[in-house]
Structure 1
């Protein structure tokens, strides 16, 4: 059976997408959530609260909420401001597709392991520049769902998931 294109983002000589994703989620500790909303009914809040509950440090990034506490954490206006105080492993983006290129450019300055674009967000230009800068890029996937899949042993590195 051929792997599905969504799980087969591997490059020649590199581990498969599934293996890389499992490593990322297992080894990362800090997630900057760009566009984190204080509203509990918003996906950004629910995903961030889940990731916090399973042990990740959440760093809120939202210029409209800067200086406030979101999920018990100080909210920063930008990734660069957050990076002065925290080593960021994953930049999880709850922003529109058109907003992703400037976020990717800022992420390059912060140098996280991963630029993650949530479900429905696909920006190939942002992905290309982030990958060229050495980041692992995930597009059009929910961090919470992927965490449940890969760290709950539901996928077990099966390339066809």
Structure 2
């Protein structure tokens, strides 16, 4: 069952350092671009994943084609995609050894969430970290030491 309790979501956000953002955009007006910039400002390392702009850079980070290419441990996979695409991303997150999957506002896939949880990943669904971090009073990563 996806995390719904505020203290569980706050703990997950405090424990997270590296986020792979699938569906990251290089367009400044897109929500994924703004959320990525905000998370970086809060001290998270955000690795953009988008096959359409692979090899480019967004907010100073190289854009990866898929999760399997990333050679650093991934704490969270943030899914900025339509719900019908999230199942494949969850499967990649499991194979990549991610610790959690975060499905953005409006992104819901109960079957994918169940697969992730069965593989030991924590899941947050239909929420945005840019909203949850200030709402829950989570300290920025940089302030956590």
Q: TM-score, normalising length from structure 2? A: 0.90
Unaligned runs of 5+ in 2: 140-145
Structure with bigger gyration radius: 1
Q: In the alignment, what sits opposite 2:142?
A: none
**Aligned partner (choices 79, 87, 105) of residue 93 of structure 1:** 79
Structure 2 counterpart of 1:134: 120
Q: Equivalent residues in 2 for 1:4-153 (5 A)?
A: 17-82=5-70, 85-152=71-138
Q: Which runs of 5+ in 1 are unaligned?
A: 1-7, 11-15, 154-161
CA contact (8 A) 1:61 1:77 kept: yes
Where 2:52 maps in the other structure, the secondary structure is coil
> How far 1:114 moved relative to its partner?
1.1
Kindly tell me: are residues 111 and 151 of structure 1, through their superposed partners in 2, closer, same or farther at Cα, counting changes over 3 Å?
farther
Give, in whole Å, the separation in 1 of the partners of 2:124 and 2:16.
15
CA RMSD of aligned residues (A): 1.7
Mapped partners of 1:28, 1:121: distance in 2? 20
Query: d(CA) in 1 for partners of 2:108 and 2:41?
Result: 27
Flag the structure with higher helix content.
2
Q: Please identify runs of 4+ aligned residues in structure 1 that moved more than 3 A.
A: none
Give the TM-score normalised by structure 1: 0.81
Secondary structure class of the residue paired with 1:64: helix
Which of 1 and 2 has higher RCO (CA within 8 Å, sep 6+)?
2
Q: Tell me if structure 2 keeps the 8 A contact 1:9–1:17.
A: no
In the alignment, which residue of structure 1 is the partner of 2:143?
none
Secondary structure of the corresponding residue to residue 120 of structure 1: coil
Tell me the SS of whatever aligns to 2:53.
Answer: coil
Count residues in correspondence: 139
**How far, CA to CA, are the matches of 1:74 and 1:67 in structure 2?**
6
